[in-house]
Amino acid sequence: MNYEGNVIRPPSEANSIILQITVGCSHNKCAFCVTYRGELFRLKDERIIEKDLEFAAHYCQRQKRVFLADGDVLSLPQQKLVAIFTEIRDRLPWVNRISLYGNAKNILRKSAQELRQLKDLGLARVYMGLESGHDPTLLAINKGADSAQMIKAGRLIRAAGLFLSVTVLLGVAGRKNSAAHARATGQVISAMSPNQVGVLTLMLLPGTPLYEQAEKGEFVMPDQAGFLRELYLIVENIELERLQFQSNHASNYLPINCRLPRDRQPVLSAIAKALNGEITLKPEHLRAL
């Protein structure tokens, strides 16, 4: 397979065929992200995509899932997407799930009918970075969408019958707006009604605006207890009939894998015990993105 630049995928796509369709991210302005800095967003050469499909057809027959990289395949015109999905279906007939990243702006450019068309061609799951439900924080991190747009985009994905996996980011509001960020995030998750939520904890990376703001003292991250309090407030403010909730990413201090609301009280109890020092947190040197 031919890969260009930094190719990333969700943890749940570890065993998928990673088919890179675009290079970079169509937004590429988030204040906490360095993944595609300096990378011009573009569609990969179609001849290379064809060779990758040929490779997958010969050597990836045991892998039943495909993840389309990089940051924003969904930004492509519908006609191009239909052609790509049709090619995957024809060349890799054993594949039973296609997934991709989608940001709110590009999701909202699609109609429900267009999303259902992609679903009929194999799209099953969309990963969406919410990061925060707190509008001042979304503006500060230059996310490119406010909470109302996030909710609308999430509901559009769900209305099309697609699995929606949402990512949120502890610490991204800094200490000043920590509690407001956490409460609003839980509330926006409730309004979006995703199938799954994955929690990550902010790690400041050189070359990002947030890192530079932290160096100047303009942005102050919460401490470990602050991260845990945010996690507690997010869980406390989610009101859904069924949700897979996880904080088992390598960046987190306290791994959680649960169903809400079924496991709400045990999870809140575990977070409270961690705050009281009764549960050992992940050592700093083991945290990673």
User: What CATH number is given for 11-282 in this structure?
Assistant: 3.20.20.70
Query: Which of helix, strand or coil describes residue 259?
Result: strand
Per residue in 62-106, pLDDT tens? 999 999 998 789 999 999 999 999 999 999 999 999 999 999 999
b/e per residue, 62-101, with b = 16+ CB within 10 A? Answer: eeebbbbbbbbbbbbebeebbebbeebeeebeebeebbbb
- Candidates 10, 2, 7, 287; CA nearest to 163 is 10
Q: How many CB atoms lie within 10 A of CB 120?
A: 12
Write down the pTM of the prediction. 0.96
Spell out the domain ranges in the chain: 11-282
pLDDT value at position 253? 96
Q: How many CB atoms lie within 10 A of CB 42?
A: 12
To which residue do tokens 């992200």 refer?
33
39 confidence band (pLDDT: 50, 70, 90): confident
Q: Which two tokens stand for residue 210?
A: 């947030």
Q: How far apart are the first and last CA of the chain?
A: 24
Q: How far apart are CA 173 and CA 177, in angstroms?
A: 5
Q: How far apart are CA 83 and CA 50, in angstroms?
A: 12
- What is the rounded average pLDDT of the residues 25-43? 91
